[in-house]
Amino acid sequence: MKGVKTIFNISLKARFGSLKLDLEYKGSKRVLGVFGVSGAGKTTFLECLAGLRKVMSGQITVAGEIWLDTETSCFVPTEKRHIGFVPQDHLLFPHKNVLGNLEAGKARALQSGRDFQSILKKVVAVLELEPLLDRSIDQLSGGERQRVSLGRALCSGPQLLLLDEPLASLDLRMRRKIFPFLIRIKEAFELPIVVVSHNPTELQVLCDDVLILENGRNVMTGSPNELFASDSLFNVAKERGFENVFSGTIIEKSDQVDCLSLSEENGNICIQIPPTDSLLGDRVLVSIGFENVLVGLERPRGLSARNCLSATISRVENAGTRWLVHALVVDAVPEFVVEVTYDAIEALHLESGLRIYLVFKTSSVTTLNG
Amino acid sequence: MLWAVVASLLVAVPGLTIAYLLARREFFGKKVLSTFTTLPLVLPPTAVGYLLLRLFADDGWLGRERLGFDLDIILSWKAVVIACSIMSFPIFVRTARVAFEEVNPRLERMGRTLGMGRQKVFLSITLPLASRGLIAATLLGFTRALGEFGATIILAGNIPGRTQTLASALFSAQQSGNETLANQLLGVALLVGFIAVYTTERLASKRSLRKEQTG
């Protein structure tokens, strides 16, 4: 860890009604996810980070800046914390138009020595807000409002972006449209981000580290794939949409299918996916359900399924009532996780180090963006 | 009518402050303050007038003997303004308080996350969002001041050209049998009252529409 800068150093103890918050987290990953059932204290945790709630004892240091230290009676008020907060219900100012909302944090951006016009230009470009600038808030759709809310937070020149279930108020179709903007934000703005979500896929794609909250305590911390595939979380995560998620580049297009390259190293690993609106060369995120992948000991012949990847089992583990096979195709591609029955493990002698073939249908691949 | 305008303006600053405190802050004695500000609404206006008269009388708490100088309130234009202000204060504060309470406090908190201090949040978020309700409060306060009779007649009397208000002028005209003047004054009262209340109604319906649209 030498040389790696700590971004978050948080320890909090507080009681809000029946919720007792008691957690510690220290990490150097830029994007931190917070996962938990409702009532676990996710939003309260975020509000404590924002300084909107007072805590009994604790410390909050973000990117070297101390915002709270109850031992030295240090409490930096919300307006001085340089945060951007995006709530799930957008909370745009109804008496201002879109541009007015984006300019709401202009004074702080200027105070911190930022060039507001260049931030505004970048935000408008990244979130595609140009056609909306003159509109009033009641003329916007749910997805547009959430984009403006993201833009408003970014325009204020924050040092930390707090996203409180930014997609939760949107329907599935709208969520798919807005999700790519969150990915763009992560890539375009070099900001520490804390994102609260009850959707494992969102956290898988966005976060480097995830904190699992249960009754106000962080019961687990780790990488999203590792945590959601663990025996204590797998069932809950799967119910909420936890799947294999990969990103790749479109390298071929036809009316029937697109070809996605998952890795160009080690001899172009490609899969066929249903046709997308994306163009050749676009980065696309796809997901494949764990139960939609078959495991074979030999390369199958005469099958209609178009995708067959050679892989090596890295581990076989029990996740609650289910069995999971983790398999690595190549180092540059995240591990595939395949759900199998115990019978299959016994019959095929599936164990770590075994060479296998992963087979799945084109139609079992879902595009998450594009 | 001029006195009613002056009284409405006079009420605005302390009225706004108290309405905001009652709507947004928790403090010791909040209910007592709320009760005191509402009291003139439930007391007989003549009782309020008599109370003010005792207050400003020579031997009263704000009288010549205690202060050492004469504020020269009783039976002057100042008495009209004070009586109208006190009587319109409760309706202004209550309406303004509701206007502030209708502003979603989470919007104010969003302002703070964008770097706005409390003062800026009040000026650029709370006040504009409560503005329709505050205009309605001012109009209702104004009509209350315009119709003030009981407290004014005791503290300021009914001196034509000096302390006579629309209400007391109408009373005098009716008592002296001057029906033409009484009718004219009635017309003015009806017109001003209608415009004020109609405007308030319109503002209230726009407010509820905006609330629906913004959740």
Residue B203 to residues A93, B43, B99, B135, B215, Cα–Cα distance (Å): 19, 29, 11, 8, 18
Which of B109, B120, B215 is facing A89, going by the closest CB pair?
B215
pLDDT digits (tens, 9 = 90+) for B179-211: 999 999 999 999 988 998 888 888 777 666 555
Query: Cβ of B110 and A52 within 8 Å?
Result: no
Q: Scanning the structure block, which residue is given the tokens 């996710």? A: A42
Q: How far is A98 from chain B (nearest CA, A)?
A: 14
> Which residue ranges make up each domain of chain B?
2-214
Give which of B103, B113, B207, B208 to mutate to test A binding, by max A Cβ within 10 Å. Answer: B113
The single-letter code of the amino acid at A179 is: F
Number of CB atoms found within 10 A of residue B35's CB? 11
Tell whether the model's pLDDT for residue B8 goes beyond 90.
no
The helix/strand count (H/E) of chain A reads as 10, 21
For residues B168 and A335, give the distance between their C-alpha atoms in angstroms, rounded to a whole number. Answer: 89
- Distance between B40 CA and the closest CA of chain A, angstroms: 35
Question: Count of residues for chain B?
Answer: 215
Chain A residue numbers with beta carbons less than 8 Å from the beta carbon of B129 are 93-95
* CATH code of the domain occupying A244-367: 2.40.50.100
CB-closest option in B107, B113, B213 to A93: B107
Contact B109 A138 (CB under 8 A): no
Look at B213 and A105 and tell me if their CB atoms are within 8 Å: no
The token pair at B19 is: 């309405």
Q: What percent of chain B lies above the pLDDT cut of 90?
A: 51
Interface test with A, best of B102, B107, B108, B110 (most A CBs within 10 A): B110
- In angstroms, rounded to a whole number, what is the distance separating the alpha carbons of residues B92 and B196? 13
State mean pLDDT over B125-138: 92
| CB pair distance less than 8 Å for A152 and B114 | yes
pLDDT surpasses 80 at B3: no
Query: Which pLDDT does position B18 carry in this prediction?
Result: 93
- If you write DSSP's letter for every residue of A244-267 in order, what string do you get? EEEEEEEEEE-SS-EEEEEESTTT
- Measured in whole angstroms, the distance separating CA B137 from the mean position of its chain's CA atoms is 8
Q: Token pair for residue B133? A: 């309700």
Task: Give Cβ neighbours of residue A244 (< 8 Å, ≥ 6 apart).
Answer: A287, A288, A289, A290, A293, A334, A336, A337
| A32 phi, psi to nearest 5 deg | -105, 130
Asked if residues A41 and A65 have their Cβ atoms less than 8 Å apart, the reply is no
CB–CB contact B116 A79 (8 Å): yes
Reduced to 3 states, what is the DSSP secondary structure of residue B136?
helix
Phi/psi at A299 (nearest 5 deg)? -65, 120
A222: left (phi over 0), alpha (psi -120 to 50) or beta: left
Q: Which of A95, A106, A138, A154 to mutate to test the interface with B (most CBs of B within 10 A)?
A: A95
Residue pairs between chains A and B whose CB atoms are closer than 8 Å: 65
The encoded tokens of residue B213 equal 């649209």
Q: State which residue of chain B sits closest to A92, comparing Cα positions.
A: B107
Residues 6+ away with beta carbon under 8 Å from A366? A243, A286, A287, A288
Q: In CATH, what class is A8-239?
A: alpha beta
pLDDT band at B215 (very low <50, low <70, confident <90, very high): very low
Q: Rounded to 5, what percent of chain A is helix, strand, coil?
A: 30, 35, 35
Please report which residue ranges of chain B form alpha helices under DSSP H: 2-24, 30-42, 45-56, 64-67, 77-101, 105-113, 118-121, 127-146, 150-155, 166-175, 179-214
Give the Cα separation of A76 and A55 in Å (integer): 12
Check residue B62 and give its pLDDT: 86
Query: Where along chain A do its domains lie?
Result: 8-239, 244-367
What pLDDT is stored for residue A228 in this prediction?
A: 87
Å between A231 CA and nearest CA of chain B: 38
The residue-averaged pLDDT of B26-49 equals 92
- Considering only CA atoms, which of B151, B113, B116 is closest in space to residue B3? B151
Q: Which residues from chain A sit within 8 angstroms of residue B120, using beta carbons?
A: 107
A244-253 and A217-222 strand pairing: unpaired
Interchain pair A79, B213: CB under 8 A? no
**In contact, A33 and A222? CB cutoff 8 Å:** no
Q: Which residue is closest to B132 within chain A, CA to CA?
A: A95
Give the C-alpha separation, A116 to A102, whole Å. Answer: 10
Nearest to A50 among B113, B115, B213 (CB): B113
Pairing of strands A355-360, A57-62: unpaired
Instruction: Summarize pLDDT for A34-74 with one digit per residue, the tens.
Output: 998 888 899 999 999 999 998 889 999 999 999 999 999 99
Chain B stretch 119-158, residues whose beta carbon is closer than 8 A to a beta carbon of chain A? 120, 124-125, 128-129
For residue A235 the two structure tokens come to: 């069932």
Show the tokens assigned to B44: 């007989």
pLDDT tens, per residue, chain A with 370 residues: 445 688 999 999 999 988 999 999 999 999 999 998 888 899 999 999 999 998 889 999 999 999 999 999 999 999 999 999 999 899 999 999 999 999 999 999 999 888 999 999 999 999 999 999 999 999 999 999 999 999 999 999 999 999 999 988 888 778 888 888 898 899 889 899 999 998 888 898 899 999 999 999 988 999 988 888 887 788 788 878 788 888 889 999 988 899 999 887 766 789 999 998 888 988 888 999 988 999 999 999 899 999 999 999 999 988 777 889 999 998 888 889 999 999 999 999 999 999 999 999 999 998 887 5
What is the token pair recorded at A103?
């300019």
Please give the radius of gyration of chain B, using alpha carbons only, rounded to the nearest integer: 20
Q: What is the CA radius of gyration of chain A?
A: 22
Among candidate residues A163, A3, A34, A2, the one with its CA nearest the CA of residue A88: A163
Q: What is the DSSP letter of A74?
A: E
List alpha helices for chain A, DSSP H: 42-50, 98-102, 106-111, 116-126, 142-155, 172-188, 200-206, 224-228, 234-239, 342-348
Distance CA B149, CA A248 (A): 81
Look up the CATH number of domain B2-214: 1.10.3720.10
CB contact at 8 A, A339 and A290: yes
Distance (Å, whole) CA A316 – CA A338: 10
Q: Do B112 and A77 touch (CB under 8 A)?
A: yes
CB atoms within 10 A of CB A115: 11
Query: Chain A: nearest CA to B114, how far in angstroms?
Result: 5
Best residue in A76, A78, A136 for a mutation probing chain B (most B CBs within 10 Å): A78
The answer to whether the CB of A311 falls within 8 A of the CB of A329 is yes
Of B107, B115, B129, the CB nearest to A156: B115
Integer Cα distance of A119 and A273 in angstroms: 36
The residues that bridge with A26 in the sheet, in sequence order, are: A9
Distance CA A170, CA A177 (A): 10
**Segment B36-47 mean pLDDT:** 91
Task: Taking each helix axis as running N to C, give the angle between helix A116-126 and helix A142-155, from 0 to 180 degrees, rounded to the nearest 10.
Answer: 150
Place of tokens 């164990």: A351
